[in-house]
């Protein structure tokens, strides 16, 4: 049975204009300037998978607010498209309207129970003051050159001024804001007070580099003050009894190895300095999304509903095929395990997920989860428009014959040379078969030959070298 008969696709997936909104900005959601699916708490959680690190972040914050301990600084570490902003949005919506969390998707029942306890903890907390700083938006991260003009005859010029303004205490920070000088820790402790304060910071690395590398000396001086402020803020958060700072940093940490996002390579020292400053105070580091979450995230973000029985049915059908004697050389004794994976990934074939993960993790321009979602939206929309009879979404549905997919996958200089190979070896061979130019065995089933060629290509191009010609087909 075609998978399209067993799923209900989210309406937004069928809208191409929202493809580039797979990762809305934190500031835009705060300012109510994004699509409803991101601004409305309930709609947001219907399309959100609560991962283990997300539930741990929520539990940690609740523990601080209820006086049960916990880390007061949470660092969201991952590279481009690693779920940092979506995690910040999850925290934002959870503390804005905790009851909407009941609509969230979870990895297992244990996380569901923990989520219910988080909701109770948030509701028991006294009124929580929420602050949002987004380094990409002047209205929530102003600067000396782009102040936030308040319609009562004053302007906010710094991020410390914006924090004070959102807390309703700007007058306590006015002098430091106007002088562009970072406040002292004790001033910030008084500002934060003794009741719960939650500060969410996104794209602070972009904001820092913007000013530290500015052409104007006044702006560069302000950039230095930003670093000082973040260090002082971390100290103040640690001293304030019920304050928590959650911020994203474009790095990945593996043991003692720290990797900086490629887009910040020219400013690596600034990013490492930022990480050192905010991690100096006792903090907890979280990686919001891992590769093992991708299948579940795609199912939640793309489909409103998936029939479980359909997944079991196709799994049984595949087992009956994979376990045949003639296929043991391919599947060995793994037929059962492999077909059980289909139940977890349906309507995606497991190899679609592994192939997609390999592409977004290794492609020089793609952004992990963000582009995995964007590519899959296009795949599903194309299959829907074609009224596809496919029973599973396969790797070759990342259709390199399609100009849109070529634009996303092959537009950079590293991969552009593959376009001619597609024309010759995928499109051209099939055309020759139909025109009876070729008389090879593959021409008995030209469409199958094309599927095989597309699959080989999509699973290997990201590692390939189009400049290397093999005169003889390799046998070893």
pLDDT of residue 107: 85
Cα torsion 396, 7, 372, 348: sign:
negative
Report the percent of the chain where pLDDT is more than 70: 93
pLDDT of residue 475: 42
- pTM to 2 decimal places: 0.90
pLDDT of residue 430: 64
| Helix-strand-coil split of the chain, %, nearest 5 | 60, 10, 30
For residue 296, count CB atoms less than 10 angstroms from its CB and return exposed for 0-12, middle for 13-18, buried for 19 or more: middle
Tell whether the model's pLDDT for residue 43 goes beyond 90. Answer: yes
Residue range 81-90: average pLDDT?
86
pLDDT of residue 444: 73
Cα torsion 307, 308, 311, 317: sign:
negative
User: What is the largest distance, in Å, between two alpha-carbon atoms of the chain?
Assistant: 83
Q: In this structure, which long-range contacts are made by residues 171-180, counting pairs with CB atoms below 8 Å and at least 24 apart in sequence? A: 180/144, 180/218, 180/221, 180/222, 180/225
Closest CA to 170 of 198, 146, 142: 142
Tell whether the model's pLDDT for residue 162 goes beyond 80. Answer: yes
pLDDT of residue 417: 87
Tell whether the model's pLDDT for residue 311 goes beyond 90. Answer: yes
Report the percent of the chain where pLDDT is more than 90: 70
pLDDT of residue 42: 97
CB 282 within 8 A of CB 220: no
Tell whether the model's pLDDT for residue 421 goes beyond 90. Answer: no
Report the SS3 class of residue 252. Answer: strand
Q: Output phi, psi for 266, to 5 deg.
A: -70, -15
CB 398 within 8 A of CB 409: yes
Reported as a pLDDT band with limits 50, 70 and 90, residue 472 is: very low
DSSP string, 410-457: S-SHHHHTHHHHIIIIIIIHHHHHHTT---SGGGGSHHHHHHHHHHHH
Task: Look over the chain and give the mean of its residue pLDDT values, rounded to a whole number.
Answer: 90
Tell whether the model's pLDDT for residue 361 goes beyond 60. Answer: yes
pLDDT of residue 261: 84
DSSP string, 306-342: E-HHHHHHHHHHHHHHHTSGGGHHHHTT-HHHHHHHH
Measured between its terminal Cα atoms, the distance across the chain in Å is 40
Report the SS3 class of residue 95. Answer: helix
Tell whether the model's pLDDT for residue 355 goes beyond 70. Answer: yes
- The 10 Å CB-count burial string (b at 16+, else e) for 220-246 is eebbebbbebbbbbbbbbbebebbbbb
Summarize pLDDT for 163-182 with one digit per residue, the tens: 999 999 999 999 999 999 99
pLDDT of residue 82: 66
Closest CA to 28 of 103, 120, 140: 140
Q: Considering only 144-153, 320-329, 367-376, 429-438, which range has the smallest mean pLDDT? A: 429-438
pLDDT of residue 125: 83
Is 38 or 288 the better-scoring residue by pLDDT?
Answer: 38
Q: How far apart are CA 25 and CA 11, in angstroms?
A: 21
pLDDT of residue 262: 80
Q: Output phi, psi for 137, to 5 deg.
A: -125, 125
Is 438 or 287 the better-scoring residue by pLDDT?
Answer: 287
Residue range 428-449: average pLDDT?
65
Reported as a pLDDT band with limits 50, 70 and 90, residue 441 is: low
Reported as a pLDDT band with limits 50, 70 and 90, residue 429 is: low
Is 447 or 116 the better-scoring residue by pLDDT?
Answer: 116
pLDDT of residue 443: 65
Place of tokens 């380094």: 135
Tell whether the model's pLDDT for residue 196 goes beyond 90. Answer: yes
210-219, 258-267, 275-284 — which one is most confidently predicted on average? Answer: 210-219
Tell whether the model's pLDDT for residue 385 goes beyond 50. Answer: yes
CB 103 within 8 A of CB 45: yes
Residue range 419-432: average pLDDT?
77
Tell whether the model's pLDDT for residue 473 goes beyond 50. Answer: no
Torsion of CA 98, 100, 104, 106, to 10 degrees: 40
Reported as a pLDDT band with limits 50, 70 and 90, residue 63 is: very high
Residue range 114-133: average pLDDT?
93
Q: Output phi, psi for 130, to 5 deg.
A: -115, 130
Tell whether the model's pLDDT for residue 436 goes beyond 90. Answer: no
């Amino acid at each position: 049975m075609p998978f399209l008969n067993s799923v209900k696709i989210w309406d937004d997936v069928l809208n191409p204009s929202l493809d580039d909104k797979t990762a809305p900005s934190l500031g835009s959601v705060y300012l109510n300037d994004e699509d409803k699916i991101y601004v409305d708490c309930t709609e947001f959680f219907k399309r959100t998978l609560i991962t283990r690190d997300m539930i741990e972040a929520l539990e940690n914050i609740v523990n601080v607010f209820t006086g049960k301990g916990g880390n007061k600084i949470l660092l969201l570490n991952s590279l481009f498209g690693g779920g940092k902003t979506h995690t910040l949005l999850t925290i934002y919506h959870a503390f804005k309207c905790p009851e909407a969390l009941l609509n969230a998707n979870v990895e297992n029942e244990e996380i569901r129970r923990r989520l219910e306890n988080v909701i109770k903890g948030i509701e028991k907390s006294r009124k929580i003051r929420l602050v949002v700083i987004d380094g990409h938006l002047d209205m929530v991260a102003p600067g000396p050159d782009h102040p936030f003009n308040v319609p009562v005859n004053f302007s906010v010029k710094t991020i410390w001024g914006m924090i004070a303004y959102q807390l309703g205490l700007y007058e306590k920070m006015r002098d430091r804001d106007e002088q562009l000088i970072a406040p002292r820790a004790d001033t910030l402790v008084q500002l934060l007070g003794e009741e719960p304060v939650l500060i969410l910071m996104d794209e602070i690395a972009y904001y820092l580099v913007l000013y530290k590398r500015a052409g104007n000396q006044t702006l560069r001086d302000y950039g230095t003050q930003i670093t000082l402020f973040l260090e002082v803020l971390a100290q103040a958060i640690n001293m304030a009894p019920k304050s928590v700072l959650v911020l994203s940093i474009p790095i990945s940490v593996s043991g003692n190895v720290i990797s900086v996002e490629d887009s910040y390579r020219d400013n690596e020292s600034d990013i490492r300095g930022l990480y050192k400053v905010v991690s100096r105070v006792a903090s907890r580091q979280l990686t919001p999304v891992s590769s093992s979450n991708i299948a579940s995230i795609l199912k939640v973000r793309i489909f409103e509903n998936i029939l479980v029985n359909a997944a079991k049915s196709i799994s049984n059908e595949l087992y009956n095929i994979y376990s045949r004697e003639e296929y043991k050389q391919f599947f060995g004794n793994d037929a059962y395990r492999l077909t059980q994976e289909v139940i977890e990934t349906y309507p995606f074939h497991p190899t679609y997920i592994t192939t997609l993960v390999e592409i977004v993790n290794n492609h020089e321009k793609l952004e992990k989860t963000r582009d995995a979602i964007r590519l899959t939206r296009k795949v599903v929309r194309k299959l829907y428009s074609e009224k596809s009879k496919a029973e599973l979404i396969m790797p070759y549905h990342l259709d390199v014959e399609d100009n849109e997919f070529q634009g996303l996958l092959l537009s950079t200089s590293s991969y552009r040379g593959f376009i001619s190979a597609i024309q010759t070896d995928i499109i051209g061979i099939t055309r020759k078969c139909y025109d009876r130019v070729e008389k090879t065995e593959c021409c008995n089933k030209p469409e199958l030959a094309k599927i095989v060629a597309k699959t080989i290509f999509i699973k290997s191009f990201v590692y390939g070298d189009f400049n290397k010609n093999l005169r003889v087909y390799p046998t070893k």
